[in-house]
Structure 1
Amino acid sequence: MYKEKYINSNIIAKGLLKNFFKKIEKISYPIRNELHNILEIGCGHGYSTYELCKIFDKSLLEASDVDFELVQDAQVKNPTIKISTESIYQLNREDESFDLVILLEVLEHLSDPDQALRELYRVSKKYCIISVPDEPLWRILNMVRGSYWGDLGNTPGHVNHWSKSRIERLAGAYFKIITIVRSTPWILLLVKKY
Protein backbone atom coordinates (compact mmCIF):
# COMPACT_ATOMS: atom_id res chain seq x y z
CA MET A 1 0.00 0.00 0.00
CA TYR A 2 1.16 3.46 -0.69
CA LYS A 3 2.60 5.33 2.29
CA GLU A 4 0.32 8.33 1.65
CA LYS A 5 -2.73 6.28 2.68
CA TYR A 6 -1.32 5.86 6.15
CA ILE A 7 -0.13 9.41 6.72
CA ASN A 8 -3.19 11.05 5.16
CA SER A 9 -4.86 13.52 7.52
CA ASN A 10 -8.24 13.25 5.76
CA ILE A 11 -10.74 11.94 8.30
CA ILE A 12 -12.65 9.93 5.67
CA ALA A 13 -9.48 8.24 4.39
CA LYS A 14 -8.43 7.43 7.96
CA GLY A 15 -11.86 5.95 8.65
CA LEU A 16 -11.77 3.76 5.54
CA LEU A 17 -8.34 2.45 6.47
CA LYS A 18 -9.36 1.80 10.07
CA ASN A 19 -12.41 -0.13 8.82
CA PHE A 20 -10.18 -2.11 6.42
CA PHE A 21 -8.03 -3.44 9.27
CA LYS A 22 -11.10 -4.11 11.42
CA LYS A 23 -12.41 -6.29 8.58
CA ILE A 24 -9.10 -8.16 8.47
CA GLU A 25 -9.42 -8.74 12.20
CA LYS A 26 -13.00 -9.94 11.78
CA ILE A 27 -12.41 -12.37 8.90
CA SER A 28 -9.32 -13.82 10.59
CA TYR A 29 -10.92 -14.26 14.01
CA PRO A 30 -12.27 -17.81 13.40
CA ILE A 31 -8.80 -19.10 12.45
CA ARG A 32 -6.78 -17.21 15.08
CA ASN A 33 -6.07 -20.31 17.21
CA GLU A 34 -4.65 -22.14 14.18
CA LEU A 35 -1.98 -19.52 13.50
CA HIS A 36 1.57 -20.16 14.66
CA ASN A 37 3.37 -18.13 12.00
CA ILE A 38 2.29 -15.44 9.55
CA LEU A 39 3.96 -13.89 6.49
CA GLU A 40 2.96 -10.57 4.97
CA ILE A 41 4.19 -10.23 1.38
CA GLY A 42 4.47 -6.78 -0.17
CA CYS A 43 4.79 -4.86 3.09
CA GLY A 44 6.05 -1.68 1.43
CA HIS A 45 7.06 0.97 3.97
CA GLY A 46 5.80 -1.24 6.81
CA TYR A 47 2.64 0.68 7.68
CA SER A 48 0.44 -2.34 6.99
CA THR A 49 2.83 -4.53 9.00
CA TYR A 50 2.49 -2.12 11.92
CA GLU A 51 -1.32 -2.37 11.71
CA LEU A 52 -1.20 -6.18 11.41
CA CYS A 53 0.83 -6.29 14.65
CA LYS A 54 -2.23 -4.80 16.37
CA ILE A 55 -4.37 -7.71 15.10
CA PHE A 56 -1.99 -10.66 15.36
CA ASP A 57 0.63 -11.56 17.94
CA LYS A 58 3.67 -9.80 16.51
CA SER A 59 5.94 -12.66 17.56
CA LEU A 60 4.20 -14.73 14.87
CA LEU A 61 4.65 -12.19 12.06
CA GLU A 62 7.31 -11.87 9.35
CA ALA A 63 7.15 -9.57 6.34
CA SER A 64 8.82 -9.04 2.98
CA ASP A 65 8.92 -6.74 -0.02
CA VAL A 66 10.75 -6.78 -3.34
CA ASP A 67 12.22 -3.27 -2.82
CA PHE A 68 15.28 -3.15 -0.54
CA GLU A 69 14.77 0.53 0.37
CA LEU A 70 11.16 -0.13 1.36
CA VAL A 71 12.30 -3.08 3.47
CA GLN A 72 14.74 -0.78 5.28
CA ASP A 73 11.91 1.72 5.98
CA ALA A 74 9.64 -1.11 7.13
CA GLN A 75 12.33 -2.46 9.46
CA VAL A 76 12.72 0.96 11.12
CA LYS A 77 8.96 1.15 11.63
CA ASN A 78 8.79 -2.46 12.91
CA PRO A 79 12.12 -3.18 14.67
CA THR A 80 10.97 -6.44 16.28
CA ILE A 81 9.67 -7.98 13.03
CA LYS A 82 11.88 -9.98 10.66
CA ILE A 83 11.54 -8.25 7.27
CA SER A 84 13.21 -9.65 4.14
CA THR A 85 13.78 -8.58 0.56
CA GLU A 86 12.28 -11.09 -1.88
CA SER A 87 10.16 -11.33 -5.00
CA ILE A 88 6.61 -12.59 -4.76
CA TYR A 89 7.35 -14.61 -7.89
CA GLN A 90 10.12 -16.56 -6.14
CA LEU A 91 9.80 -16.46 -2.37
CA ASN A 92 12.83 -17.60 -0.37
CA ARG A 93 10.63 -19.82 1.80
CA GLU A 94 10.11 -23.53 2.30
CA ASP A 95 6.93 -25.16 0.99
CA GLU A 96 4.00 -24.91 3.41
CA SER A 97 5.99 -22.84 5.89
CA PHE A 98 3.34 -20.33 7.08
CA ASP A 99 -0.11 -20.91 8.56
CA LEU A 100 -1.28 -17.58 7.12
CA VAL A 101 0.10 -15.58 4.20
CA ILE A 102 -1.18 -12.00 3.82
CA LEU A 103 -1.13 -10.09 0.53
CA LEU A 104 -2.60 -6.58 0.80
CA GLU A 105 -2.97 -4.50 -2.33
CA VAL A 106 -0.26 -6.20 -4.33
CA LEU A 107 -2.01 -8.10 -7.14
CA GLU A 108 -3.02 -4.92 -8.96
CA HIS A 109 0.68 -4.09 -9.43
CA LEU A 110 1.80 -7.45 -10.83
CA SER A 111 2.37 -8.49 -14.42
CA ASP A 112 1.74 -12.14 -13.50
CA PRO A 113 -0.82 -12.47 -10.69
CA ASP A 114 -1.20 -16.21 -11.41
CA GLN A 115 2.46 -16.83 -10.58
CA ALA A 116 2.05 -14.79 -7.39
CA LEU A 117 -0.87 -16.95 -6.26
CA ARG A 118 1.06 -20.12 -7.10
CA GLU A 119 3.80 -18.90 -4.73
CA LEU A 120 1.24 -18.04 -2.04
CA TYR A 121 -0.18 -21.53 -2.42
CA ARG A 122 3.29 -23.05 -2.19
CA VAL A 123 4.37 -21.29 1.03
CA SER A 124 0.99 -21.38 2.79
CA LYS A 125 0.17 -24.33 5.03
CA LYS A 126 -3.48 -23.36 5.33
CA TYR A 127 -4.74 -19.82 4.77
CA CYS A 128 -4.21 -16.58 2.88
CA ILE A 129 -5.76 -13.15 3.23
CA ILE A 130 -5.78 -11.19 -0.02
CA SER A 131 -6.99 -7.66 -0.69
CA VAL A 132 -7.38 -5.71 -3.91
CA PRO A 133 -8.94 -2.36 -4.84
CA ASP A 134 -12.64 -2.78 -5.69
CA GLU A 135 -12.98 -1.76 -9.35
CA PRO A 136 -14.52 0.31 -10.83
CA LEU A 137 -15.32 1.93 -7.45
CA TRP A 138 -11.61 2.56 -6.82
CA ARG A 139 -11.23 4.65 -9.99
CA ILE A 140 -14.50 6.49 -9.41
CA LEU A 141 -13.41 7.49 -5.90
CA ASN A 142 -10.04 8.63 -7.21
CA MET A 143 -11.78 10.89 -9.72
CA VAL A 144 -14.23 12.20 -7.10
CA ARG A 145 -11.28 13.33 -5.00
CA GLY A 146 -9.70 14.90 -8.10
CA SER A 147 -6.88 12.40 -8.61
CA TYR A 148 -5.48 10.79 -11.76
CA TRP A 149 -7.92 12.44 -14.17
CA GLY A 150 -5.56 11.88 -17.09
CA ASP A 151 -5.69 8.15 -16.43
CA LEU A 152 -9.44 8.07 -15.75
CA GLY A 153 -8.84 7.50 -12.04
CA ASN A 154 -6.30 4.70 -12.43
CA THR A 155 -3.70 4.81 -9.67
CA PRO A 156 -0.15 4.85 -11.10
CA GLY A 157 1.31 1.36 -11.10
CA HIS A 158 -2.03 -0.46 -11.25
CA VAL A 159 -1.80 -2.84 -14.19
CA ASN A 160 -4.66 -5.12 -13.08
CA HIS A 161 -8.17 -4.07 -12.15
CA TRP A 162 -10.13 -6.37 -9.86
CA SER A 163 -13.88 -6.69 -9.66
CA LYS A 164 -15.34 -9.06 -7.08
CA SER A 165 -16.03 -11.71 -9.73
CA ARG A 166 -12.56 -11.42 -11.27
CA ILE A 167 -10.69 -11.83 -7.97
CA GLU A 168 -13.02 -14.69 -7.00
CA ARG A 169 -12.14 -16.48 -10.25
CA LEU A 170 -8.41 -16.01 -9.80
CA ALA A 171 -8.31 -16.94 -6.10
CA GLY A 172 -10.77 -19.80 -6.66
CA ALA A 173 -8.40 -21.38 -9.16
CA TYR A 174 -5.91 -21.98 -6.33
CA PHE A 175 -7.84 -21.86 -3.06
CA LYS A 176 -11.22 -22.51 -1.49
CA ILE A 177 -12.79 -19.13 -0.74
CA ILE A 178 -13.88 -19.04 2.91
CA THR A 179 -14.94 -15.39 3.09
CA ILE A 180 -15.12 -12.50 0.67
CA VAL A 181 -16.14 -9.07 1.93
CA ARG A 182 -16.06 -5.51 0.76
CA SER A 183 -14.38 -2.86 2.84
CA THR A 184 -14.89 0.22 0.72
CA PRO A 185 -12.89 0.73 -1.46
CA TRP A 186 -11.28 -2.72 -1.17
CA ILE A 187 -12.24 -6.36 -1.53
CA LEU A 188 -10.90 -8.76 1.11
CA LEU A 189 -10.72 -12.54 0.85
CA LEU A 190 -9.89 -15.24 3.35
CA VAL A 191 -8.97 -18.37 1.40
CA LYS A 192 -7.84 -21.88 2.36
CA LYS A 193 -5.75 -24.43 0.53
CA TYR A 194 -7.73 -27.31 -0.98
Structure 2
Amino acid sequence: MTGASANEQKYESRNPILRMLIARFHRRIAELLAPLRPATILDAGCGEGYLARYLLDHLDGIALWGVDASAAAIERARQRCPEATFEVASLESIDLGRKEFDVVICSEVLEHLEHPEKALVRLSSLCGSHALLTVPWEPWFRLANLARGKYLRNLGNHPEHVQQWTKRGFVRVVEPHFEPLHVEVCFPWTILLGRPRVERRRAAV
Protein backbone atom coordinates (compact mmCIF):
# COMPACT_ATOMS: atom_id res chain seq x y z
CA MET A 1 0.00 0.00 0.00
CA THR A 2 1.53 3.29 -1.13
CA GLY A 3 1.87 5.71 1.79
CA ALA A 4 0.40 3.21 4.23
CA SER A 5 1.58 3.08 7.82
CA ALA A 6 3.27 -0.03 9.17
CA ASN A 7 0.02 -0.80 10.99
CA GLU A 8 -2.01 -0.58 7.78
CA GLN A 9 0.50 -2.75 5.95
CA LYS A 10 0.05 -5.41 8.63
CA TYR A 11 -3.75 -5.30 8.65
CA GLU A 12 -4.03 -5.17 4.86
CA SER A 13 -1.45 -7.92 4.29
CA ARG A 14 -2.38 -10.70 1.89
CA ASN A 15 -0.33 -13.20 3.90
CA PRO A 16 -2.94 -15.86 4.78
CA ILE A 17 -1.26 -16.84 8.05
CA LEU A 18 -1.03 -13.25 9.25
CA ARG A 19 -4.64 -12.61 8.28
CA MET A 20 -5.71 -15.72 10.20
CA LEU A 21 -3.78 -14.62 13.30
CA ILE A 22 -5.28 -11.12 13.23
CA ALA A 23 -8.81 -12.47 12.73
CA ARG A 24 -8.38 -14.85 15.67
CA PHE A 25 -6.91 -12.04 17.80
CA HIS A 26 -9.85 -9.71 17.15
CA ARG A 27 -12.35 -12.51 17.68
CA ARG A 28 -10.79 -13.35 21.04
CA ILE A 29 -10.93 -9.73 22.19
CA ALA A 30 -14.63 -9.57 21.32
CA GLU A 31 -15.25 -12.86 23.13
CA LEU A 32 -13.65 -11.52 26.31
CA LEU A 33 -15.63 -8.28 26.17
CA ALA A 34 -19.05 -9.68 25.25
CA PRO A 35 -19.95 -11.03 28.75
CA LEU A 36 -19.19 -7.60 30.23
CA ARG A 37 -21.94 -6.00 28.12
CA PRO A 38 -20.21 -2.61 27.92
CA ALA A 39 -22.22 0.40 26.80
CA THR A 40 -19.19 2.65 26.29
CA ILE A 41 -15.75 1.69 25.02
CA LEU A 42 -12.61 3.78 24.64
CA ASP A 43 -10.06 2.46 22.14
CA ALA A 44 -6.91 4.24 23.29
CA GLY A 45 -4.35 4.19 20.50
CA CYS A 46 -6.94 3.13 17.95
CA GLY A 47 -4.76 3.56 14.87
CA GLU A 48 -6.75 3.39 11.66
CA GLY A 49 -9.74 1.81 13.40
CA TYR A 50 -9.35 -1.86 12.45
CA LEU A 51 -10.16 -3.21 15.92
CA ALA A 52 -12.85 -0.56 16.42
CA ARG A 53 -14.58 -1.69 13.23
CA TYR A 54 -14.54 -5.31 14.37
CA LEU A 55 -16.00 -4.45 17.78
CA LEU A 56 -18.73 -2.27 16.31
CA ASP A 57 -19.70 -5.16 14.05
CA HIS A 58 -19.63 -7.86 16.74
CA LEU A 59 -20.71 -6.24 20.04
CA ASP A 60 -24.31 -5.08 20.36
CA GLY A 61 -25.26 -1.60 21.48
CA ILE A 62 -21.84 -0.10 22.09
CA ALA A 63 -20.86 3.55 21.78
CA LEU A 64 -17.19 3.71 20.86
CA TRP A 65 -14.64 6.48 21.20
CA GLY A 66 -11.12 6.28 19.80
CA VAL A 67 -7.98 8.35 20.23
CA ASP A 68 -4.61 8.23 18.52
CA ALA A 69 -1.63 10.57 18.32
CA SER A 70 -1.60 10.32 14.52
CA ALA A 71 -3.95 12.69 12.70
CA ALA A 72 -3.64 10.59 9.54
CA ALA A 73 -4.65 7.44 11.43
CA ILE A 74 -7.63 9.21 12.98
CA GLU A 75 -8.82 10.36 9.56
CA ARG A 76 -8.71 6.75 8.32
CA ALA A 77 -10.53 5.58 11.47
CA ARG A 78 -13.31 8.12 10.91
CA GLN A 79 -13.75 6.85 7.37
CA ARG A 80 -13.78 3.22 8.53
CA CYS A 81 -16.12 3.78 11.50
CA PRO A 82 -18.35 6.80 10.82
CA GLU A 83 -20.66 5.91 13.70
CA ALA A 84 -17.86 6.23 16.29
CA THR A 85 -16.19 9.32 17.78
CA PHE A 86 -12.47 9.86 17.17
CA GLU A 87 -10.02 12.49 18.41
CA VAL A 88 -6.31 13.17 17.95
CA ALA A 89 -4.62 12.84 21.35
CA SER A 90 -1.74 11.11 23.07
CA LEU A 91 -2.52 8.56 25.76
CA GLU A 92 -1.31 10.94 28.44
CA SER A 93 -3.54 13.81 27.29
CA ILE A 94 -6.87 12.10 26.54
CA ASP A 95 -9.79 14.46 27.23
CA LEU A 96 -13.07 13.49 25.58
CA GLY A 97 -15.43 15.24 27.98
CA ARG A 98 -16.22 11.95 29.74
CA LYS A 99 -15.02 11.02 33.20
CA GLU A 100 -14.86 7.29 32.49
CA PHE A 101 -15.79 4.47 30.11
CA ASP A 102 -17.16 1.00 30.84
CA VAL A 103 -14.21 -0.58 29.04
CA VAL A 104 -10.88 0.95 28.09
CA ILE A 105 -8.91 -0.88 25.40
CA CYS A 106 -5.24 -0.28 24.72
CA SER A 107 -4.15 -2.74 22.05
CA GLU A 108 -0.69 -2.91 20.49
CA VAL A 109 0.27 0.49 21.90
CA LEU A 110 2.17 0.22 25.19
CA GLU A 111 5.17 -1.45 23.56
CA HIS A 112 5.75 1.77 21.61
CA LEU A 113 6.09 3.97 24.71
CA GLU A 114 9.25 4.93 26.57
CA HIS A 115 7.23 5.35 29.78
CA PRO A 116 4.20 3.03 29.62
CA GLU A 117 3.48 3.58 33.31
CA LYS A 118 2.37 7.16 32.59
CA ALA A 119 -0.14 5.90 30.05
CA LEU A 120 -1.40 3.25 32.47
CA VAL A 121 -2.05 5.93 35.09
CA ARG A 122 -4.18 7.92 32.65
CA LEU A 123 -5.99 4.83 31.38
CA SER A 124 -6.88 3.74 34.91
CA SER A 125 -8.43 7.15 35.59
CA LEU A 126 -10.70 6.73 32.53
CA CYS A 127 -11.68 3.15 33.26
CA GLY A 128 -15.04 2.70 34.95
CA SER A 129 -15.15 -1.09 35.04
CA HIS A 130 -12.64 -3.05 32.97
CA ALA A 131 -9.55 -2.60 30.82
CA LEU A 132 -8.32 -4.86 28.05
CA LEU A 133 -4.63 -4.46 27.25
CA THR A 134 -2.60 -6.27 24.60
CA VAL A 135 1.08 -6.31 23.67
CA PRO A 136 3.29 -8.57 21.57
CA TRP A 137 4.20 -11.81 23.34
CA GLU A 138 7.97 -11.83 23.38
CA PRO A 139 10.24 -13.35 22.28
CA TRP A 140 7.76 -15.23 20.09
CA PHE A 141 6.50 -12.10 18.34
CA ARG A 142 10.03 -11.40 17.09
CA LEU A 143 10.52 -15.01 16.05
CA ALA A 144 7.27 -14.87 14.09
CA ASN A 145 8.54 -11.76 12.30
CA LEU A 146 11.79 -13.51 11.45
CA ALA A 147 9.86 -16.48 10.11
CA ARG A 148 8.08 -14.21 7.62
CA GLY A 149 11.26 -12.35 6.73
CA LYS A 150 10.41 -9.08 8.51
CA TYR A 151 12.78 -6.75 10.38
CA LEU A 152 15.78 -9.01 9.85
CA ARG A 153 18.29 -6.27 10.73
CA ASN A 154 16.58 -5.89 14.12
CA LEU A 155 16.42 -9.64 14.73
CA GLY A 156 12.66 -9.56 14.22
CA ASN A 157 11.96 -6.62 16.51
CA HIS A 158 9.68 -3.96 15.06
CA PRO A 159 11.77 -0.75 14.87
CA GLU A 160 9.05 1.21 16.72
CA HIS A 161 8.85 -1.25 19.63
CA VAL A 162 10.85 0.08 22.58
CA GLN A 163 9.43 -2.42 25.09
CA GLN A 164 9.61 -6.21 24.87
CA TRP A 165 7.60 -8.16 27.43
CA THR A 166 7.08 -11.79 28.23
CA LYS A 167 3.61 -12.59 29.54
CA ARG A 168 4.84 -12.51 33.13
CA GLY A 169 6.83 -9.33 32.57
CA PHE A 170 3.81 -7.53 31.18
CA VAL A 171 1.68 -8.54 34.16
CA ARG A 172 4.31 -7.05 36.48
CA VAL A 173 4.12 -3.70 34.68
CA VAL A 174 0.32 -3.61 34.68
CA GLU A 175 -0.37 -4.91 38.22
CA PRO A 176 0.26 -1.64 40.09
CA HIS A 177 -2.52 -0.01 38.05
CA PHE A 178 -4.96 -2.83 37.21
CA GLU A 179 -5.95 -6.02 38.98
CA PRO A 180 -5.46 -8.79 36.40
CA LEU A 181 -8.62 -10.89 36.07
CA HIS A 182 -7.59 -12.94 33.06
CA VAL A 183 -4.31 -13.21 31.17
CA GLU A 184 -3.75 -15.35 28.10
CA VAL A 185 -1.62 -15.71 25.02
CA CYS A 186 -3.35 -15.45 21.67
CA PHE A 187 -0.28 -16.07 19.56
CA PRO A 188 1.65 -13.86 19.03
CA TRP A 189 0.02 -11.45 21.48
CA THR A 190 -0.53 -11.31 25.24
CA ILE A 191 -4.05 -10.25 26.26
CA LEU A 192 -4.81 -8.99 29.78
CA LEU A 193 -8.30 -8.24 31.08
CA GLY A 194 -8.24 -6.30 34.32
CA ARG A 195 -10.01 -3.98 36.70
CA PRO A 196 -8.61 -0.59 37.77
CA ARG A 197 -7.23 -0.42 41.28
CA VAL A 198 -9.37 2.01 43.26
CA GLU A 199 -6.47 3.70 45.01
CA ARG A 200 -4.70 4.31 41.68
CA ARG A 201 -7.81 5.80 40.11
CA ARG A 202 -8.25 8.22 43.01
CA ALA A 203 -4.62 9.32 42.78
CA ALA A 204 -4.86 9.87 39.02
CA VAL A 205 -8.00 12.02 39.10
Per the normalisation by structure 1, the TM-score is 0.93
Could you tell me which runs of 5 or more consecutive residues in structure 1 were left unpaired when the two chains were aligned: none
Contact 1:93–1:123 under 8 Å retained in 2: no
Report the CA distance shift for 1:163/1:144 in structure 2 as closer, same or farther (over 3 A): same
Paired with 1:130 and 1:172, the residues of 2 have a C-alpha distance of 12
SS of 1:177's partner is: strand
Q: CA deviation at 1:184?
A: 0.5
Aligned length: 192
Contact 2:67–2:89 under 8 Å retained in 1: yes
Name the residue aligned to 2:106: 103
- Is structure 2 residue 36 aligned with structure 1 residue 31? yes
Paired with 2:32 and 2:48, the residues of 1 have a C-alpha distance of 24
Paired with 2:61 and 2:156, the residues of 1 have a C-alpha distance of 36
Name the residue aligned to 2:149: 146
Report the CA distance shift for 1:58/1:14 in structure 2 as closer, same or farther (over 3 A): farther
Name the residue aligned to 1:7: 12
SS of 2:28's partner is: helix
Q: CA deviation at 1:29?
A: 2.8
CA deviations over 1:38-59 (Å, ceiling 9, x no partner): 1001111111211121232364
**CA-atom RMSD in angstroms:** 1.5
Bigger mean CA offset, 93-102 vs 114-123 = 93-102
Name the residue aligned to 1:158: 161
Q: How does 1:1-194 map to 2 (within 5 A)?
A: 2-32=7-37, 35-57=38-60, 59-93=62-96, 96-194=99-197
* Counterpart amino acid of residue 134 in structure 1: W
Paired with 2:169 and 2:100, the residues of 1 have a C-alpha distance of 28
SS of 2:149's partner is: coil
Paired with 1:142 and 1:51, the residues of 2 have a C-alpha distance of 24
Per the normalisation by structure 2, the TM-score is 0.89
Paired with 2:98 and 2:176, the residues of 1 have a C-alpha distance of 19
Identity of paired residues, percent?
A: 31
SS of 2:92's partner is: coil
* Counterpart amino acid of residue 105 in structure 1: E
Contact 2:104–2:130 under 8 Å retained in 1: yes
CA deviations over 1:143-190 (Å, ceiling 9, x no partner): 111111111111120000111011101111111111111111001111
